[in-house]
Structure 1
Amino acid sequence: MTENVHDILARMADQPFVDFPALIARHARERPEAPAFLCEDEALGWAGLARQMDRVAGACRACGLAPGDKLALLAAPSIHAVEAFFGTVRAGCCIVPLATSATAEALLGMLRDSDAKVLAVDAAARETLRPVETALFEAFSGRLVALDFSALGWIEWDAWLAQGQVPAAVDHRPGQPFNLIYSSGTTGKPKGILHDHGMRARQAMRRNFGLGPGSVMLLSTPLYSNTTLQPMLATVAGGGLTVLMRKFDAAGYLRLCAAHKATHTMLVPVQYQRLLAHEDFPRTDLSSFVLKQCTGAPLDARLKAQILAQWPGGLREIYGMTEGGVSCVLDAHEFPHKLGTVGRPAPNHDMRIIDDDGRVLPQGEVGEIIGWSPYMMAGYYKQPAATEAFYWRDETGVAFHRSGDIGRFDEDGFLVLLDRKKDLIISGGFNIYATDLESATAAHPDVADVAVIGIPSEQWGETPLALVVLKPGSALAAEALRQWVNARVGRTQRLAAVEYRQELPRSALGKLLKRELREPYWK
């Protein structure tokens, strides 16, 4: 079912370390004109990426950045953003990709927390930052870089690059900071998740994605998300082409699939839903696909089956966290009878189930999912207490990551994901898993989207409420839907009520914001 942490360490002890600037330089020598990145009408070959990476590194040094210092990047995917990303790493600095979906005040808080010394921004993100621009001028005087616009107080991209000279090669080491990613903040204040070079190299050099020089990875999620960074870095390591979308739309995505004969992709569940429902999907040639991946939120079993039936190539669901350590993989095309699970522990993972007292539970019992792997964060930035609280330690002192999720391993070692620990509804002493009720409600043909939350109840303490978005044209009454669902679930699971919504709040990556949904009821 799972591997032992000590066996994994022994097997990987002699694995060589290769840094990304060295990999890119090698691709540039061997295949200088081969395409590395494509975004809209702009293309960047390996030689061009290596050259621009060197220029950005020189500009970083001219700005006073030393190895280990941080450059923050706030931009939609673009060629300049990619150059800034890898050039920062080439300089030995740490890249801090920030969420373009965040508010100006939240971004200012992340910038202050990160200790970034340079901020690179595109035109759309600059508009987001306008309410705090005065504070930025004070904090980043002479170190605000405009990727694609001109404005007073900002250094234009070409002028910034012209400031520096190509620095000598940096001796990148496994323990040096690579990137700092801020959590979504869906469960509270965002935390900085620090990844080092060793973790990113080990992660990207895995060969179980089938990536190579002939691969075409199509990505349509933001640069600040690990959903994008992990497959992007793996494609760079394999020497393939990464096609970036500045913003996802189903029609545009399908056009890019056909035009570039995409072989790989990473999408979140809501994107799969929109693509399969789009009128262009049946007539788009998708025969080039080798592997499609999904992460970010659980993929409904019915949607998995639909993808397998209608979209050529394999389908891999990845359950995991940006912090790393906890990861399962379901190759749905190989295990179509396991679509109700999120797969087995990924290679090089030691995963376990523990109870509320931290005791490891036997296979089949329900508890919190924890895990260890060589692909784990260095810690929460400047938050040692939060980092330690995130750990569960075994009898030898090895730190496992707590997922905050509840689940169990079935008889074949596949993980059945039940709920977020914080989303568990305890009604009248019974545990109710919101995911069970959401799955039952989503099975109704008139339901487009659903979230189940616990709301206060004088009789039961709390009780389940379904918040539902109906499909266009439906006249289904809320009480009729409640009765339909309750006829299909256990007596202790029944919905207390159903309320309709025009839409449900989601993050930029399609994750349900249940904290926002619960708040009005518990105030």
Structure 2
Amino acid sequence: MFVPFSVTDFLDRAETVYGERVGVIDEPDQPAASLGELTYAQIGALARRQAAKLDELGLEVGDRVAVVSHNSARLLASFFGVAGSGRVLVPVNFRLRPDEVSYIVEHSGARVLYVDPELDEALAGVTAEHRFVLGDDDDLYASEGVEPRAWEPDESATACINYTSGTTARPKGVQITHRNIWVNAVTFAMHAAVTDRDVYLHTLPMFHANGWGMPFAMTGLGVKQVVLRKVDGAEILRRVRDHGVTVMCAAPAVVAAVLDAAADWDGEIPGRDTVRIICAGAPPPTKTVVRVAEELGWEFIQIYGLTETSPLLTFNRTRAEWDDLSAEDRAARLVRAGAPALGVRLTTDAEGEVLARSNVVLEGYWEQPEESAKALADDWFHTGDGGVIGDDGYLTISDRKKDVIITGGENVSSIEVEDVLFSHPAVAEVAVIGVPSEKWGETIKALVVLAPGESVDEATLIAWCKDKAAGYKAPTSIEFRDELARTATGKLQKFKLREPYWAGQERQVN
């Protein structure tokens, strides 16, 4: 018997088994009216009303629906109301500038655009055939009792398109299928040992690789999901205390924010011996992992993956064989990317690039067949990361072969930042590199050669970047150079430019 996987499977089970359980606690400080506490039955009803509204608007199976939003119950329900009805959800990074959002909406061909109320004014010029503000619920949802058209699930169909910065200045649309989502969610939940007794905190932006698949995994297992709109270390501790949170996902910067807040926390740290925090983006320093265990009493778990892999490729959780190790030795093992998740095959090519095969690997890049062919050459996904696989099967990421900097969990194309800096009349040459940062994992540094007779200071160039691209893409520091290291043919030698900043480090990523 063959029954196609669908994202609806997760919500169907939640409604059947946990229908009367509170499934989602919306952020109380939403700019639109918070939806408060919603049972899984109510989430299911909301998703069906959204799907029915898309029917009324004339959207067909495969049509794209873009949403630009902070974390919210409405966004979470859209994964099921949009993708679960055979359409394609396009979650957009709310930190992007209006022109960047506009490109994604246009490139994806989205017929419907949902916008967070806080972003409505800034994105006034970004539109689609149908444009709605989240919170204007009479426009978002059909009347109660109106049932959507039935959709016959197709597990090979694209469920979501997630745009990511890559080796080109323009973002690429990663096509994630229902099968990709299903396998990732089930595998992730299995490795993280999730049960219906867990409480999940959405510290991770839901737009980011579909919240790593957690909206699906947690829904299918009936987990209570607490929505956090904006990251704040003290607020994370309060949510853990008030809701009994047991699991969350986070970039290294979030881990750092919680540790900073814990230093000023009055009383016992909430969640001690019950919380596990799953980290990705770049492994933090070993001393940070030790601090998580000693100062918070939380379990630290490291994973590795990409938007293109749904995202889980490896999982690294402390194991029985490590119980007698010192905290430092255990942390040194935990900052590796990890062992392959179930169903993942990893290898490295002659140049050390990490290659992967799995049911979580993307279908392709939306309307970019040449980029798709390169990424999936020889029936392996080419990650663009350099790494080493040990005798025990554990992967360590040692270098980043493609021009991407991961800062605070966000991918930044160094080429894009270079293009922005080149547009300043005083800049003659520029190289953008990632350098180590204890807070962000990596941070962006620009090395600049000025044009003859020109003068400009660091603050001015940083402000120039923030004016022309999303703020998180701007360099945090700029160094002025007389020249940049190049090959005999004039090609920038970025590995030489990066060397001084990574001296003494085992890896060339952080």
TM-score band, normalised by shorter chain: 0.7 to 0.9
Which residue of structure 2 lines up, in the alignment, with residue 364 of structure 1?
Answer: none
Tell me which amino acid in the other structure corresponds to 1:420: R
Return 210-219 or 268-277, whichever deviates more.
Answer: 210-219
The yes-or-no answer on 1:166 pairing with 2:161 is: no
Corresponding residue number in structure 1 for 2:39: 45
What SS does structure 1 have at the residue aligned with 2:15? Answer: helix
Match of residue 197 from structure 1: 178
- CA drift at 1:282: 6.5
* Residue 305 of structure 1: how far off its partner (Å): 1.9
Cα distance, 1:519–1:168 mapped onto 2, change above 3 Å: farther
Q: Any residues of structure 2 matched to 1:207-218 within 5 Å, and which?
A: 207-218=190-201
Taking the aligned partners of 1:168 and 1:203, their CA distance within structure 2 comes to 27
| Distance verdict in 2 for CA 1:22–1:318, change over 3 Å | closer
Q: Secondary structure at the match of 2:162?
A: strand
Q: Secondary structure at the match of 1:36?
A: strand
1:111 aligns with 2:111: no
Partner of 2:118: 124
* Aligned AA (1:147): L
Return the letter of the residue paired with 2:150.
A
| Aligned counterpart, 1:83 | 77
Bigger Rg, which one: 1
Match of 1:327 in 2: 313
Check if 1:375 corresponds to 2:360: yes
Residue pair 1:254, 1:281 contacting (<8 A) in 2 also: no
Give the Cα–Cα distance (whole angstroms) in 1 for the partners of residues 109 and 10 of structure 2. Answer: 28
Q: How do 1:11-50 and structure 2 match up within 5 A?
A: 17-41=4-28, 42-50=36-44
Give the aligned length: 419
Q: Name the amino acid aligned to 2:313.
A: S
Q: Is the 8 A contact 2:269 2:296 kept in 1?
A: no
After superposition, what is the alpha-carbon deviation per residue over 1:98-156, rounded to whole angstroms, capped at 9, x for unaligned? 111111111111111101111111211212212x25xx2xx42xx211212xxxxxxx3
Contact 1:315–1:333 under 8 Å retained in 2: no
**1:250 alignment counterpart:** 233
What are structure 1's unaligned runs of at least 5 residues?
1-13, 149-155, 357-366, 394-398, 425-433, 458-500
Q: Percent identity?
A: 22
Separation of aligned partners in 1, 2:312 and 2:388:
14
Using the alignment, how far apart are the partners of 1:516 and 1:62 within structure 2?
A: 51
* Structure 2 gap segments, 5+ residues each: 29-35, 323-329, 405-432, 450-461, 485-491, 493-510
Residues 350-402 of structure 1, C-alpha deviation per residue, up to 9 Å, x if partnerless? 1111124xxxxxxxxxx111111111111100101001111241xxxxx1111
Q: How big is the shift at 1:62? A: 0.3
Kindly provide the amino acid, as one letter, of the partner of residue 189 in structure 1.
R
* Matching residue within 349, 353, 356 for 1:354: 349
Give the residue type in structure 2 aligned to 1:90: G
Q: Does 1:188 align with 2:169?
A: yes
Q: Which moved more, 1:80-89 or 1:269-278?
A: 80-89
| CA displacement 1:172-223 (0-9 Å, x = unmatched) | 1211111111104586211000111111111112222212222111111222
Q: Identify the match of residue 223 of structure 2 among 240, 256, 271.
A: 240
1:224 partner amino acid: F
| Conserved 8 A contact 1:70-1:116 | yes
Using a 3 Å threshold, how does the CA distance of structure 1 residues 166 and 519 change in structure 2: closer, same or farther? farther
The separation in 1 between residues aligned to 2:215 and 2:312, in whole angstroms, is: 20
Give the conservation status (yes or no) of the 8 Å contact 1:391–1:402.
Answer: yes
> Partner residue of 2:156?
175
Counterpart-to-counterpart distance in 2, 1:175 and 1:450: 36
Cα deviation digits, residues 18-41 of structure 1 (max 9, x gap): 423243233223322201111223
Map residues 83-102 of structure 1 onto 2, 5 A cutoff.
83-102=77-96
1:407 to 387, 390, 400: 387
Distance change (3 Å), C-alpha of 1:75 and 1:200:
same
The 3 A distance-change label for structure 1 pair 53 and 373 is: same
- Residues 326 and 351 in structure 1, CA contact (< 8 A), matched pair in contact too: no
8 Å CA contact retained: 2:301, 2:334: no
Distance 1:329 1:25 in 2: 28
For the residues of structure 2 that align with 1:448 and 1:518, how far apart are their CA atoms?
19
The SS at the match of 1:127 is coil
Q: 1:35 to 1:187 in 2, by over 3 A?
A: farther
For the aligned residue pairs, the C-alpha RMSD in angstroms reads 3.4
| Corresponding position: 1:146 with 2:133 | yes
2:290 corresponding residue in structure 1: 305
| 1:354–1:370 CA contact under 8 A, matched in 2 | yes
What letter matches 2:208 in structure 1?
A: S
Alignment equivalent of 1:264, drawn from 240, 247, 254: 247
